[in-house]
Amino acid sequence: MNYLLGAFKPACNVSITFSDGKNRKQVPMKKENGQTALVPLFHSQDTISGKVCIDPYQGKKVEHNGVKVELLGQIEMYFDRGNFYDFTSLVRELDVPGEIYERKTYPFEFPTVEMPYETYNGVNVRLRYVLKVTVTRGYSGSILEYQELVVRNYAPLPDINNSIKMEVGIEDCLHIEFEYNKSKYHLKDVILGKIYFLLVRIKMKNMDLEIRRRESTGAGANTHVETETLAKFELMDGTPVRGESIPVRLFLAPYDLTPTHRNINNKYSVKYYLNLVLVDEEDRRYFKQQEITLYRLKEDTSS
Amino acid sequence: MRTLAGVEDEEKWLAEGIAGIQHNAFFMHRALDANNLREVLKYSALMLSELRTSKLSPQKYYDLYMRAFDQLRQLEIFFKDESRHGLPVVDLYELVQHAGNILPRMYLLCTVGSVYIKSKQAPSKDVLKDLVEMCRGVQHPIRGLFLRSYLAQVSRDKLPEIGSDYEGDANTVIDAVEFVLQNFTEMNKLWVRIQHQGPGTVREKQEKERNELRDLVGKNLHVLGQIEGVDLEMYKETVLPRVLEQVVNCKDKLAQYYLMECIIQVFPDEYHLQTLEALLAACTQLMPTVDTKIVLTQLMDRLSNYAASSPDVLHEFLQVEAFAKLSNAIGKVIDTQLEMPIVGAMTLFVSLLTFTLRVHPDRLDYVDQVLGACVVKLSSVPKLEDARAMKQVVALLSAPLEKYSDIVTALTLSNYPRVMDHLDDGTNKVMAMLIIQSIMKNDSCISTADKVEVLFELIKGLIKDLDGTNVEELDEEDFQEEQNSVARLIHMLDNEEPEEMLKIIYVVRKHLMTGGPQRLPFTVPPLVFSAVRLVRQLEAQGGDIAGEDVPATLRKIFQILNQTIEALSSVPCPELALRLYLQCAEAASDCDLEPVAYEFFTQAFILYEEEIADSKAQVTAIHLIVGTLQRINVFGVENRDTLTHKATGYSARLLKKPDQCRAVYACSHLFWVDDPEGIKDGERRALRIANAAQQMVNATRGSSGPVTLFVEILNKYLYFFEKGNPHITPSDIQSLIELINTEMLSDNGNTTIHSDPFFSSTLRYIRFQKQKGGLMGEKYDLIKL
């Protein structure tokens, strides 16, 4: 039966390797089947170079109408499944039509590629970069091979980074003033702050600080908004008295956060909020949400 | 809601909690063995989550806490060993803060924090500050208290106190103090807040539960007291003001009381002394319901003991004017705390007084000041009825007595009697007894009339019936003891100066005369003897003293004596009065005051005739009269005759013959006084009386014991014979001996048992005198046996 199966198998094995593959940093990425795989990490303006290796199976030849490698930047909306929108597409022709009898390697290079958007894997939308090798064949369908990349872009330190300070309350019931030390945090940052209780007339069970991600996709009437709570961090246990101040110290590192994305290619936005939630003894929730901007800071070489 | 649930439920919840801890601890230990940091953190956090329960009472919660605590020790050992988890401690410090729930997070943070300090990779003060600050997140009173108590415990050996490993450059003892103070402040706030939890119906139970937790808070003060390097300066400038601020501001009765107590116990006495002002100011600012008096009492007790510990420290007390400050504070407290029962105020005064006596033994004015304040307070209440308050007042009044061991000192305290006025009669007596006992014990002599006056004012409860006292209620024995004490007291009143002594006697007499018939028999004799002593003293000094206001003439004194004894007639108590008259008569005789002595005798005789009816009493009285009369030699012939005849007459009229006989032969001495200048006028009469006696004996023949009487008479004969009474001849004696012999022969029965030895020894005496030879021997030779 082996030969029969072999008949339907692709005639060759296509693999893609990066020239700096051994040194390049790899990051885990969740695949569609739920498993995580390590994927090489790139940044905008990187040069993507490597080799495509086509290795026909024993005793087979590969007839083709040309071999090409493409670098694609795609946005995929889940409610519009299967419809990719390529915002970046670069092509390198690797071979003219012919036949391959034995293993053949093609080097390729995309110098200083502009990759303005970061890889993003959201609820309703996905932005991905992929290298696609196509061995074009006339009758039996082209042979395709994909290699995912992850792109992350660093942002500089913001010039202006004000603290967030606000007084909120319910009349004659609860008055608090909260303060977060910044409005823009990098992904490994720590949120420091304080919650002052100016008036407390309710009995509280606890106070949490939540990090919420709001992903909005589409535009106009087709806008889909999805909100997830990524972190729920208990700040306080019990009821404070008037004049008490509760410290806030929330490390962002353990959470799976991305930078804030604003209107990516007019397709989607990802925003982050700090949500301060007070829960009283009757399980009523009082909350106040504040947007924060997340950005990716270039990490020290050491870390 | 917790408190409404049954105890059984609580047990169940506790068991569940313990099971939860054990379960997670098991997995934690497995992870520890595998050195798997991630799992360790996961399970330790889960384990600590059991402490998030709100269902347990403090006691049960403590049980749960202790179990978690034991596990955390294991965890700490793991954290310490970097080779096991492979993470620098600083990263670990961050890592544990990723925990989502605050309570497990904080326990872990404290545990790692302690390792962090120990590693010395960061200044201990920074870590401590961070920990104590982050703990603010736990605002639930019980959970917060235990968390902070855990923090205090793990940090205790890591404070940057002087001499510790963690002190240096940037870490000073002030950081340690700051840390403990802050933790203390927060813990106290949490503790105070417990009362606002839950419904009001269970307030009482809550109070009890709160009380169980107080040591968690107090521990901090304890630590503060132990930190090496907290010197007086720092204590004064930082520690105490901060602690007091918290105490005053928390406005909670239980906390204020407990913490003040802690402060007083934990810190050294010398610090208290130097910060007295602040401490006392705080006392006056406490809640009105706080039992400030106990706090102040403890403070004063400690200071008193401190003062007593070494005389070197006394000058410190003076320096800081401890008394004035304390006194002020107490005044304020009493004024402001209107609801304080009188017993409270009294307790305060007692403490203050004890303090004063220990610290300023030389400042009587202070003592008086305290008593004065006490009087003011007592006057503001109607009548002291509280037994405990009474006890305190007694203690208050006893303190100076014990201290000065000299009642004289107490007598100069003008407020002393005023305080006593506020006692009820019973207590007043007890107090009076105490005063007397103190005088007795210390053998102190009260030597001026003024003091005597004050003293009697003090003990007036014993001297006279106070208004409203029901005499019948008095216990006989108690009464006697009291009066005996008063009698003993009178002997302690003495002055070398006759003039002053007379004044004293006047004063004493004035008071004693008010005592009523029951007391006089006890009190008059010492007074009389006291006066008689004065008389003898005057006599020895050569007679009357011309005093300025009260000339102490003998006559005058005797007059007083007469009046005094006369008072006894109202009792009536004739035997006693008779004795006293005789004493006075003898004294007067010694002073050569014949008429006075005669007067006294007259009084005695009148008493004898009119009042003494009992025959036994008569016998005694006669012997007394005879004895006294025999000793007195001041009387002229006429007076003497009158008196001796009267006495002899009385003797002869006694009821029983033997009594008669004995009285009569006693009277024989009245006529023959063995004295160079003695009256020997009655030689003949003496013999006659002796003969009369003999006849009387004859009259008794048949009844029991005449032989004894004969022997007695023989002895009298021998006495006079020896003394050379010419009317007693050897033949008289001889015949008497023969008489006795025959009597004995005829009466060889029952009586010989007594008389035989007496007689034979008398005979032996005669033989002895014979053999001895000499003048007496010659005389005796004439007697033939």
Return the pLDDT at B750.
54
Return the pLDDT at B687.
61
Q: Is B251 on the interface with A (CB under 8 A)?
A: no
How much is the average pLDDT of B568-574?
Answer: 74
Name beta bridge partners: A250.
A191
State chain B's mean pLDDT as an integer. 80
Give B-chain residues touching A242 at CB under 8 angstroms.
none
How much is the average pLDDT of B407-435?
Answer: 76
Q: Cβ B139–A232 below 8 Å, yes or no?
A: no
Return the pLDDT at B199.
59
Q: Cβ distance B463 to B514 under 8 Å?
A: yes
Give A-chain residues touching B136 at CB under 8 angstroms.
244-247
User: Is the model's pLDDT at B3 over the cut of 50?
Assistant: no
- Of A121-125, B430-434, B740-744, the poorest mean pLDDT is in B740-744
Measure in Å the smallest separation between the Cα of A198 and chain B Cα atoms. 15
Confidence of residue B57 (pLDDT cuts 50, 70, 90): confident
Return the pLDDT at A197.
95
Residues 529-558 of chain B whose Cβ lies under 8 A from any Cβ of chain A: none
Q: Cβ distance B148 to B97 under 8 Å?
A: no
DSSP B549: S
For the record, the structure tokens of A75 come out as 């946005």
How much is the average pLDDT of B178-191?
Answer: 92
Return the pLDDT at B406.
66
* Bridge-based pairing state of the strands A36-42 and A143-151: parallel
Return the pLDDT at B543.
57
- Of A141-155, A255-269, B65-79, B565-579, the poorest mean pLDDT is in B565-579
User: Is the model's pLDDT at B110 over the cut of 90?
Assistant: yes
Taking the C-alpha atoms of residue B531 and residue B262, their distance in angstroms, rounded to an integer, is 61
Alpha-carbon dihedral sign for residues A185, A186, A187, A190: negative
Helices (H) and strands (E) in chain B — how many of each? 40, 0
- Higher-pLDDT residue of A33 and A301 is A33
Taking the C-alpha atoms of residue B210 and residue B194, their distance in angstroms, rounded to an integer, is 7
Q: In terms of Cα–Cα distance, which of B624, B643, B622, B621 is closest to B633?
A: B643
Return the pLDDT at A207.
95
**DSSP letters for B207-258:** HHHHHHHHHHHHHHHHHHHH-TT--HHHIIIIIHHHHHHHHHHH--HHHHHH
How much is the average pLDDT of B348-357?
Answer: 83
3-class secondary structure, B682:
coil
Measure in Å the smallest separation between the Cα of A256 and chain B Cα atoms. 13
The ipTM value here is 0.88
Give B-chain residues touching A241 at CB under 8 angstroms.
139, 189, 193
Q: Cβ distance B278 to B325 under 8 Å?
A: no
Give A-chain residues touching B101 at CB under 8 angstroms.
234
Taking the C-alpha atoms of residue B30 and residue B39, their distance in angstroms, rounded to an integer, is 9
Return the pLDDT at B774.
74
3-class secondary structure, B725:
coil
Confidence of residue B667 (pLDDT cuts 50, 70, 90): confident
Alpha-carbon dihedral sign for residues A213, A217, A219, A222: negative
Confidence of residue B491 (pLDDT cuts 50, 70, 90): confident
Return the pLDDT at B764.
83
- The Cβ of residue B68 has, within 10 Å, a number of other Cβ atoms equal to 25
- Higher-pLDDT residue of A133 and B431 is A133
Per-residue pLDDT tens over the stretch B266-318: 998 888 888 888 888 888 888 888 878 888 888 888 888 888 888 787 787 77
User: Of A232, A240, A246, which is closest to B100 when you measure between CB atoms?
Assistant: A232
Confidence of residue A215 (pLDDT cuts 50, 70, 90): very high
Per-residue pLDDT tens over the stretch B675-708: 444 444 555 555 666 666 666 666 555 445 567 7
The model's pTM is 0.73
How much is the average pLDDT of B661-684?
Answer: 62
- Higher-pLDDT residue of B191 and B724 is B191
Among left, alpha and beta (phi > 0; psi -120 to 50; other), residue B287 is beta
3-class secondary structure, B405:
coil
User: Is the model's pLDDT at B151 over the cut of 90?
Assistant: yes
Per-residue pLDDT tens over the stretch A29-58: 887 777 888 899 999 898 999 999 998 887
**DSSP letters for chain A:** -HHHHHHHS-SEEEEEEETTTTTS-EEEEE-TTS-EEEEEEE-TT--EEEEEEEEEPTT--EEES-EEEEEEEEEEEGGGTT-EEEEEEEEEEEE-SEEE-S-EEEEEEE-S----S--EE-SSEEEEEEEEEEE--SSS--EEEEEEEEE---BPPPS----EEEEEEETTTEEEEEEES-SEEETT-EEEEEEEEEEE-S-EEEEEEEEEEEEEES-GGG-EEEEEEEEEEEEEES---TT-EEEEEEESTTS-----EEEETTTEEEEEEEEEEEEETT--EEEEEEEEEEEPBPPPTT-
Q: In terms of Cα–Cα distance, which of B418, B410, B468 is closest to B435?
A: B410
Cβ-Cβ contacts under 8 Å for B51 (sequence gap 6 or more):
B17, B61, B64, B65, B68, B103, B104, B107, B143, B146
Q: Is A201 on the interface with B (CB under 8 A)?
A: no
Taking the C-alpha atoms of residue B505 and residue B527, their distance in angstroms, rounded to an integer, is 7
How much is the average pLDDT of B212-227?
Answer: 89
State chain A's mean pLDDT as an integer. 88
Return the pLDDT at B676.
45
- Higher-pLDDT residue of B397 and B750 is B397
Alpha-carbon dihedral sign for residues B106, B111, B115, B117: positive
Return the pLDDT at B699.
57
DSSP B466: P
Residues 239-278 of chain A whose Cβ lies under 8 A from any Cβ of chain B: 239-241, 244-247, 249, 251, 253-254
- Of A294-298, B234-238, B715-719, the poorest mean pLDDT is in B715-719
- Of A101-115, B8-22, B375-389, B684-698, the poorest mean pLDDT is in B684-698
Q: In terms of Cα–Cα distance, which of B270, B321, B263 is closest to B295?
A: B263
